[in-house]
Amino acid sequence: MSLRNVRIYRKILGNGTSSTLVDSSANEDFLLLQCGGMLTIGKDVGNSLKQQYTKVSDGYALLGIHKISKDEHFLVVVKSVLSVGQLFNCDLHKITNVQFVSLNVLSNTEQIDARIVEMQKFLSAGIFYFAGSNKGSNYDLTHSLQRKQTIGEFGQSDFRFYWNRTLSFPFERFGVPIDDWLVKCICGSVLVRTIYVGHRTAKVALISRLSCDYVGTRFNVRGINDDGNVANFVETEQLLTFEEKDCSYVQVRGSVPLFWEQPGINVGSHTIKLKPLEFSMFAMERHYSFLKQFYGDLLSVNLLGSKKGERSLSTAFQTAINLSKLHSDVRFVSFDYHAEVKQSKENAKRLISEIDSFIDHCSFFFSHGSFQKGVIRTNCLDCLDRTNCVQTLIGMRALLAQLNILGVEQFKANIVLRFEEVVRDLWQKNGDNCSVIYAGTGALEGKSKLKDASRSFVRTIQNNLMDTSKQESIDLLLLGCLFGDDKFDKLSNLLPPYLMKSSSYFFECPSIESFVEQEKEMCRSKSLRVFVGTWNVNGGKNIYNVAFKENHSLDLWLYPLALLDADALNFDLIAVGFEEIVDLNASNLVKASTTNQRIWRDGLKRVIDRFQSTHFSAENDKFVVLACEQLVHFPSFFATFTFCVPFLVGVCLVLFIRASLLGSVRDLAIGDVKTGMGGATGNKGSVAVRMTFNSTSICFVCSHFAAGQNEVIARNSDYQTALKKIRFPMGRTIMSHDIVFWLGDFNYRISLPGDDVKNAIQSNTFAILSGFDQLTQQKEAGNIFAQFSEGPLHFAPTYKYDTFSDDYDTSDKCRSPAWTDRILWMDSNNLVQLIYYGRSELKTSDHRPVFAIFELNSLKFELPKAEPLLKDTIISLGPPDSTIICSVSGHSNAFPQHLCNAIFSKIYELGITILVSKLEGPFLHVQLANGMDALMALSMDGVELGNNDLRLAVTLAFSGQWPDSLVANFEKYLRIARAEFVQSREEKPVEWAALNLNMAEESDEEGDEQPNGIGCSSVQDDFALIDISDIVPK
């Protein structure tokens, strides 16, 4: 692609808006972009119009239109490329520079918006590729050769690898041919080499395609998501062409398909955090179902090692595969790459011998009659260095068969050696390219310890300092202005994933509210009984006290049978927050232990299990730990270079859920913010856990605000900090949820002298006392907890007591009693009912625990109920292109241009906004703001114009296709959505208890005290490995 094929012109219109004209030498038309609309115009008209415009940019190709907000749109132009070779008469290009050209008038955003700068850097990083067309040839890089030949019903690109697909949605909406104007780019690696076989020419290519379904940087995106997509999923195709014959061999790699994380803190650290294995099963089974759908038979090669973190992850992975009834046919091979290769690099070849028969069974794609019938899925921890080494060996094994079927082996032996040398070099470069995308550096080769150590060190810097902005760039590129949009997020929770992703309709829909407001009509209600509790345990100082040791007193808090019967206490979801879980002394602020966290979590679990077994039948399903998160603080990034241990103090939030309900939970995520000492430590702050239960989004926040009788402003500030700074994936905030439960030690006091407060307590005049409660006062003033509710304060203040006593503080400070410990909730959809709000009389701390019991009516999407509503709404919103075509009676050759203003006036009289228009023969094409305006404009059909007895005819641009074609396409996508719906997320879970399997937990922290026989997991158990240890075999 030697010429700059695309030229962009701009003109400022009289109303202050901007008009952009695009001229492409590959097209016979111009593209007119104006006010968010888009039309193609003929070359003659375009050349004439161009004289009024000013050239602002040029480039090699267009990637599409990026909408960073609803009003700020950018045309993404490929400014420079590097040719990487040619395949099938198509030039292959690496993108080396892009420009975001503003489509808005007088906008400086393209120069000053940091998000645009970061996206430009990301797209210009040399990791994106596209194929140009020559002589009518068209090569879609998103497809492998086999997939291209067996392409599905819709003949579309493979959405998994089509990175600029959302940028093409405005073109799809307005009916502008995408293939005529945009290139389709993949992210990954494209390497092509030419090898001369005598006087003939052969080509070898290695193409790696990184999936954009679940993508991100090394420590931001790990494991699997709820839709069955894994992080760092790469399809690598080894492709050979020779004498009009083509063959390719495909392998895939991807993260371990379980829910797990790895904090990006220390150089060389492999600390891993796992969620309950039960929670991963459904997602893992979906992942393998997708692989079978795309590739056929499966062999899974696991290269994880025997180090403490990797061993537990590997064991959990193998256990999940063994427990899967759907995928018992998947062959699973474990190979400790580090241990084996440490002895001898030749040992790696033993793995190839072990899987040799599967390679032969799967064969490969050959253009003259054979297909690849299966795929090998390889993983290590990062799916980078070890994975690339093993895939290289597999690729070399497949190469010999490829050369044989192409007839290359009949030539001289040195020709085969030349192929092997080239392919081996391509795999090494492929490993570097894939590693740069995910980890920021080239692959660790194992040849030079100094070089590998240097790259590992650079990876740590990259992951700690640069990954956040890179992750935001990825999210913005893939979602644009819908990233963080509450309405779009709500619609995503509501509709089946495939229905959302199948077309541009919902991404470009001008009225998402029209669907969201019918949420209750599309769903059925599912009731949940929820327990929420909070307790400041005063550093857990009395955690080993005889009165508390057996945890019986916790029953009084979680299950107050003196107040409610057992059926009313048969909870489905339990959320417990602790404050001051670790004694805040100097030693703990430098290095704190997670021992207390495990003791409290396990103590709660025993209480829950004991109550369930005592009051309900054995068939009553067990509870599992859904999340267990403690506020973490890392003193500074530079501490990583001295291998300083991070400390965890203060706030802890634990969630338990019935195992049978795990299939209804998705998008579980955690956020936190530190506010103690200005955020410098973790002794004050907030921890939050969010989830989507069926179609209802729920967030739990546990906070510990600033102390002090008069520190009201500081407490308000802590609240606002949590509200603003806690962020979840996809741009979600605390207030973007349907339901929020906010609990903790908020430290708000009562603005009365201590004696007055105590007198009021003795006389039980809590209603009068609550009028002086600082939280109540600040809430009524609108300073905190707007939109939140709280139950009546019909219980005595919970702070401050002498421990093991009913007396309020008798120390020298003699603090005034206060309702410091509170539980509030926000309910945007009238789904929550408070059953009880009160306190418990546990006396091991200077605070009393508080609890609230709620009835929550979650909403579950029902496709049969929703289908007619969805169709009716789609029809009522009008055609997506929002274009009308006007004609005038008696003018069959050319439209009377002098009547345009009269027609525009009539459109404006209807209150309709015009985006852009064009004349084409006897027709006037007018593009309006949305489809509802287009339907309204049909009312002008038959209107008389002037005094000349001329009548206006108005039709929709695709009147012969709408709404039938739109509904027909929608029906196609619904068929797939119905299949997803049938695969219900409420299948009966594996009977874990019936497996009768155990594994002793191993210590992850040397020297940690383990009282009462409580072990410490080898995996950081913030996500409660306790549930995994129940089922993993010894």
Write the pLDDT tens digit of every residue in 878-921: 999 999 999 999 888 899 998 999 999 999 999 999 999 999 99
DSSP secondary structure string for all residues of 744-810: EE----BSS-HHHHHHHHHTT-HHHHHTTBHHHHHHHTTSS-TTEE-----S---B-B-TTSSSB--
Q: How confident is the model at residue 467 (pLDDT cuts 50, 70, 90)?
A: low
pLDDT at residue 265, as a whole number: 52
108: pLDDT strictly greater than 60: no
Confidence of residue 1031 (pLDDT cuts 50, 70, 90): very low
Q: What pLDDT does 986 receive?
A: 42
The yes-or-no verdict on residue 531 having pLDDT over 50 is: yes
Buried b (16+ CB within 10 A) or exposed e, 621-632: bbbbbbbbbbbb
Mean pLDDT, range 83-96, rounded to an integer: 94
CB contact at 8 A, 46 and 27: no
pLDDT recorded at residue 1018: 33
pLDDT for residue 984: 47
Average pLDDT of 525-529? 95
Reported as a pLDDT band with limits 50, 70 and 90, residue 644 is very low
Q: What is the separation of C-alpha 252 from the centre of its chain, rounded to a whole number of angstroms? A: 21
**Res 1016 pLDDT > 70:** no
Where along the chain do the CATH 3.30.70.330 domains lie?
879-962
Asked if pLDDT for residue 978 goes beyond 90, the answer is: no
pLDDT tier for residue 622 given thresholds of 50, 70 and 90: confident
Q: What percent of the chain has pLDDT over 70?
A: 84
- Mean pLDDT of the region 183-198: 95
Residues for the chain: how many in total? 1034
Across 464-487, average pLDDT:
82
Per-residue pLDDT at 989? 44
Whether the per-residue pLDDT at 107 is higher than 70: the answer is no
pLDDT for 832 equals 97
Q: Output the pLDDT for position 544.
A: 64
Across 877-1017, where does the E strand assignment appear? Answer: 883-888, 914-920, 923-928, 944-945, 950-956
Q: How far is CA 996 from the centre of its chain?
A: 35
Range(s) of the chain covered by CATH 3.60.10.10: 518-860
Model confidence at 372: pLDDT above 90? yes
pTM score, whole prediction: 0.88
Residue 687 C-beta-side C-alpha neighbours within 13 Å:
28
C-alpha distances (whole Å) from 106 to each of 9, 17, 103, 480, 756 are: 14, 9, 9, 21, 64
Helix H, strand E, coil C: the string for 610-667 is HHHHHHCCCCCCCEEEEEEEEEEECCCHHHHHHCCCCEEEEEEEEEEEEHHHHHHEEE
**pLDDT at residue 14, as a whole number:** 77
Rounded to an integer, the average pLDDT of 835-856 is 96
Least confident span in 131-140, 230-239, 341-350, 569-578: 131-140
**Token duo for residue 910:** 């209807």
Position 461 pLDDT exceeds 50: no
State the DSSP string of 839-855: E----SSSS--EEEEEE
533-567: string of b/e by CB count within 10 Å (b at 16+)? bbbbbbbbebbeeeebeebebbbebbbbeeeeeee
Does the pLDDT at position 959 exceed 90?
Answer: no
3-class secondary-structure state, position 110: helix
pLDDT band per the 50, 70, 90 thresholds, residue 1023: very low
Q: Is the dihedral of CA 12, 13, 16, 17 positive or negative?
A: negative
In this prediction, residue 220 has a pLDDT band, given cuts at 50, 70 and 90, of: confident
| CATH code 3.10.580.10 for 518-860 | no
How confident is the model at residue 972, as a pLDDT?
79
Question: Is it the case that residue 432 has pLDDT exceeding 60?
Answer: yes
What's residue 992's pLDDT?
Answer: 39
Measured between alpha carbons, how far is 34 from 38 in angstroms, rounded to an integer?
6
Q: Where are the beta strands (DSSP E) in 850-1002?
A: 850-861, 883-888, 914-920, 923-928, 944-945, 950-956
Q: Are 992 and 1030 in contact (CB under 8 A)?
A: yes
Contact between residue 783 and residue 716 where contact means Cβ atoms under 8 Å apart: yes
CA distances 73 to 100, 101, 926, Å, are 9, 8, 21
Select the highest-mean-pLDDT range: 254-268, 458-472, 756-770: 756-770
Could you confirm whether domain 879-962 is CATH 3.30.70.330? yes
Number of H helices, E strands in the chain: 33, 36
Sign of CA dihedral 588, 592, 598, 601: positive
pLDDT attached to residue 961: 74
Read off the pLDDT of each residue in 988-1008 and give the average, rounded to a whole number.
37
**Interhelix angle 308-323/277-295, nearest 10 degrees:** 70
pLDDT in the model for residue 267:
42
Is residue 596 classed as helix, strand or coil in its secondary structure? helix
Report residue 696 as tokens.
């209802």
Spatial separation of the C-alpha atoms in residues 473 and 482, rounded to whole Å: 13
Whether residue 887 contacts residue 953, with contact meaning beta carbons closer than 8 Å, is answered with yes
Average pLDDT over residues 61-72: 93
Does the pLDDT value for residue 416 go beyond 80?
Answer: yes
The answer to whether 62 and 103 have CB atoms below 8 angstroms apart is no
> Which of 28-32, 197-201, 211-215 has the least mean pLDDT?
197-201
Nearest-angstrom CA–CA distance, 626 and 356: 41
Instruction: Tell me the C-alpha distance between 577 and 573, whole Å.
Output: 13
**Percent of the chain predicted with pLDDT > 90:** 64
User: What is the structure's pLDDT at 988?
Assistant: 44
Count other C-beta atoms under 10 Å from residue 575's C-beta.
Answer: 26
518-529 mean pLDDT:
94
pLDDT for 111 equals 57
Which band of pLDDT confidence, cut at 50, 70 and 90, is reported for residue 527?
A: very high
**Cis? peptide before 490, omega within 30° of 0:** no
- What is the rounded average pLDDT of the residues 502-520? 91
Does residue 1026 have a pLDDT over 70? no
Contacts of 748 (CB under 8 A, 6+ apart): 705, 712, 715, 773, 774, 775, 778, 818, 819, 820, 822
Task: Give pLDDT, residue 1004.
Answer: 40
Among 215, 218, 96, residue whose Cα is nearest residue 161: 215
For 555-612, how does the pLDDT look when each residue is reduced to its tens digit (9 = 90+)? 999 999 999 999 999 999 999 999 998 875 545 544 445 778 888 999 999 999 999 9
Query: pLDDT band for position 400 (50/70/90)?
Result: very high
* Of 71-85, 98-112, 1010-1024, minimum mean pLDDT range: 1010-1024
Query: Which region among 77-91, 618-632, 672-686 has the lowest average model confidence (pLDDT)?
Result: 672-686
Angle at 219 between CA 218 and CA 223, to 5 degrees: 80
* Residue 769, C-beta contacts closer than 8 angstroms, at least 6 positions apart: 750, 752, 757, 760, 761, 793, 797
Measured CA to CA, the distance from residue 422 to residue 471 in angstroms comes to 34
pLDDT at 663 (0 to 100): 87
Q: What is the mean pLDDT of residues 315-323?
A: 94
Tracing tokens 């619904």 back to the chain, one arrives at 974
Average pLDDT over residues 339-354: 88
- Please state, in angstroms and rounded to a whole number, the distance separating the CA atoms of residues 286 and 577: 33
- Cβ atoms of 11 and 103 closer than 8 Å: no
Tell me what the pLDDT averaged over the chain comes to: 85
